[in-house]
Structure 1
Amino acid sequence: MNFYEADFKLNIVKEYLEGPLGGRALANKYDLSSNALVYNWTHSYQLFGNDGLKNRRSPKKYTSEFKRDVLHFIETTGASFGEAARKFKLPTGSMISRWQRSSLSSKEQGLPIRKGRSKREMIKPTKKQKKSKKLSREKELEREVELLRIENEYLKKLQTFQQTIMAKRNGESKSE
């Protein structure tokens, strides 16, 4: 697997955004293994700026709650992996695809974050940690409200879509 310097990636992204060449032409020009690299780098640059082009030694870890929220968003709205990645500011949609496959294959409700015990299980909670549980409960409720709003918005759009289809069908049957 080739690793490219951040400066090299930045030059290609800027040339893609400002110039007349597309991703395939730039991949051929710079002898890249795939034109998808150009599109992925551009996407990362647009979401995270220069930091999105830096090579990460260790990938960012996401909680199982966050993964479930992303998968729930996809299920309720019918969004693609790429759209969900942009909404939740994830580097790529393929990572969501992996989460979905692992959630389907696992028989447990939760998605695995990592193997082994967490550090929190090994240490007794302090007073500050006990207070933070209240905050996390508030955040959990806010997250649930946001998901319900998204679901409600989706259902409203679905209903209007169905009404327009029915109106078109009624209009066609009257004209015949």
Structure 2
Amino acid sequence: MLLYILLCLEIALRTVLEIRERRITQMRGGVFAVLRLIPLVNDIVPLPENRKEPQKSQFVEKHEEGHRVLRHSVLRNLMKVAFLMVAVWFFSAMVVRWNASFIEAVLWLHLAAIPFKWFFNWYCWNQEFEADAYAFKEVGKQKAKAAMQELAECEIPYTKLFASVYREHPTVALRSQRILKKVIGGR
């Protein structure tokens, strides 16, 4: 019974978050809004982050170089492996030790994964901020500002709360505030 109450609570909270986001951004949610409300589907269907791909610039190249120099992909993959190991342990314990059915174990795993997903997004955001700082140091303020303006034009403007739930990249507003001490685009 607790499982079904928690799933209903999750759906209700995601619905409130969707409505809040639509009101603040005045953008339509489309099919992705419906998919984000369905448990398990919202784990699989990725949220589109950009309307179009930003142009390659010197800042973007240095940002990607920052990821390589700081070994972010290795660290990110290690984090994924650690979370996968915890998920396998949790799923196995649910099925073997607590005699949960396969469906119940999958649903409990989905619910247990929510805080891990938020933590992973926070971890990825910090890596993005580090790569931005690396690129800022390499190319300077003017090129960084131009790159942030370009990214703001390409990005779908999400709020900080919505982005923290669904995105591995922080919004342009947060990124520009961090490196330029000035908010560019977004909310």
TM-score, structure 2 as length reference:
0.27
Structure with the larger helix share: 2
Which has the greater radius of gyration? 1
TM-score, structure 1 as length reference:
0.29
